[in-house]
Chains A and B, each alone.
Chain A
């Protein structure tokens, strides 16, 4: 499997994760539990597509073989996607969707905070812009986790089930690859070594307020999105997302 240089791989991880998370949010159109949530889900999704475009544009420039953000988004297959396993999981009910969002936001927030101090100016600029948006996303998703966890008996049970379904994918939020460690040590992307503890602290805090139990730390298993080894869900997500570009490869839209 082809790998790009460390920084490019990292940019793909950021871009692909935002893109796939946004794609899942798009699936909610017209189906949210309240009008205000239609607006909010689309708003968050919109921010994330914008972020994905910025990360992928930069990755494409570094790859430099004629790719642009669109060709990276629409012409790579699942073995080349670097998104976190968590964000490709199906939406399930609103509890699953909001928990996924919260896990992702609680990862993005400390990550972007550090990236905004990166030596690489482009990384710093994208992160600074994204951080404003993610601050809002995190506030919203953590409030929903609290509302649902400490709401009714039913909503609490649904959150417990959502945690059962999703927790095993959380190891990717706390594990840095050796490549990421070296980028971090060189401060190319800022010091991201504290992201794992910050993620865990945020989860502990919000779960406590939501009367939810934090499971033991999840362990790595067969799936590894940095190597493009995804769950079976991603292939379908990409088939839907990419079909027009694949069906009309020479078209301009």
Chain B
């Protein structure tokens, strides 16, 4: 999963001459492709941008458990149930790695989670869409994890070492999820009944545009990209990654024998890329501002989990203290 629209707080890039000696040394290190590590000096705005991005990424993993969790009790076979449970478990694990990477920057996990719960921090827009049939489990794996991978593969080379290393582990597991998702759809298309094939096409119709939105606003409306790219937090623009995703996904769609809900999609021989129709940016903006189809439910579920579980965490802490005291006496 991924972070979208990360505020960097900078309107324009500083030239090397405008930088302080520390900033210049930092930028030179970045330009030389040397990883920044937790104890190195870094500009405050680099630190803040990364905290925003990594926490958004971690939140996305956690909220992203919910659309799939919606089907785990209803998975149609034991094998599919096992796969889905393993995937949800991986996602919780990714959330944990990412919160740890974020904490190397001095941020506090509980504080950042509180920002999510109060609506001050974002998570990927895609998880605000409902999962309405079993094929959505395939389409989420194939399209959503697929888009996440295209976003995340370059992040394995992101300039901040702990984030880059977390991404190496995350990407391995995500690729596996994506293949599994595709296999769910392929099986339904090749061996399925008419009703199952309709489920697959319906899932693609509903999730195609939301998956394309996972790459964030188009480059001309992405004011924070330039700074993120100069810091090599980001390695490619939103539009580059979106195009890459479409180019590699359409051939897979053809193998399925399905279509995408885009009448303007066509192959351009000269550019060697697919051309595609206009994205509904109004919808995108509504969703990331909290007004998508499931924003309310997703946040409510997460808030409830933490609020209702407070007594459990308090009990764990109280018990740990008691044990410590007993050991001190003994």
Chain A residues with a Cβ under 8 A of chain B: 19, 23, 26-27, 29-39, 42-43, 45-46, 49-50, 52-53, 56, 69-70, 73-74, 93-94, 146-148, 150-152, 154-155, 158, 240-241, 243-245, 248, 250-253
Contact = CB atoms under 8 A, between A and B. Distances in A.
Contact of B187 (A50, A53, A155, A252): A252
B192 interface: yes
Given A33-B306, A46-B85, A151-B314, A252 B192 contact: yes
A7 to B, nearest CB: 21
Contact of A146 (B74, B88, B187, B319): B319
A245 B77 CA distance: 8
Interface stretch (B89-97, B225-233, B239-247, B276-284): B89-97
Closest 6 CB pairs of A and B: A33-B309, A151-B315, A29-B69, A155-B315, A33-B312, A244-B76
A26 B319 contact: no
B134 A33 contact: no
Interface stretch (B10-18, B143-151, B262-270, B297-305): B297-305
B191 interface: yes
Nearest to A159: B315
B78 A29 contact: no
B308 A29 contact: no
Q: Is the interface of B mostly helix, strand, loop or mixed?
A: helix
B238 to A, nearest CB: 28
Given A30-B66, A39-B89, A52 B78 contact: yes
Contacts of B86: 46
Interface in B244-293: none
Contacts of A73: 78
Given A32-B305, A33-B309, A49-B82, A42 B92 contact: yes
Contacts of B315: 147-148, 151-152, 154-155
Contacts of A23: 73
A39 B93 contact: yes
Contacts, number: 142
A30 B82 CA distance: 17
A155 B312 contact: yes
B311 A244 contact: no
A49 B85 CA distance: 9
A200 B8 CA distance: 60
Given A38-B65, A49-B85, A251 B302 contact: no
A contact patch SS = helix
Interface in B191-206: 191-193, 195-196
A11 to B, nearest CB: 15
Interface string B53-85: 000000000100110110011111111111001
Nearest to A73: B78
Nearest to A240: B73
Contacts of A49: 78, 81-82, 85
Contact of B62 (A35, A70, A248, A251): A35
Interface in B129-152: 134
B89 A46 contact: yes
B313 interface: yes
Nearest to B99: A35
A29 B187 contact: no
Contacts of B301: 30-31
A224 B183 CA distance: 41
Contacts of B328: none
B294 to A, nearest CB: 12
A53 B78 contact: yes
Contact of B319 (A32, A38, A151, A241): A151
A31 B195 contact: no
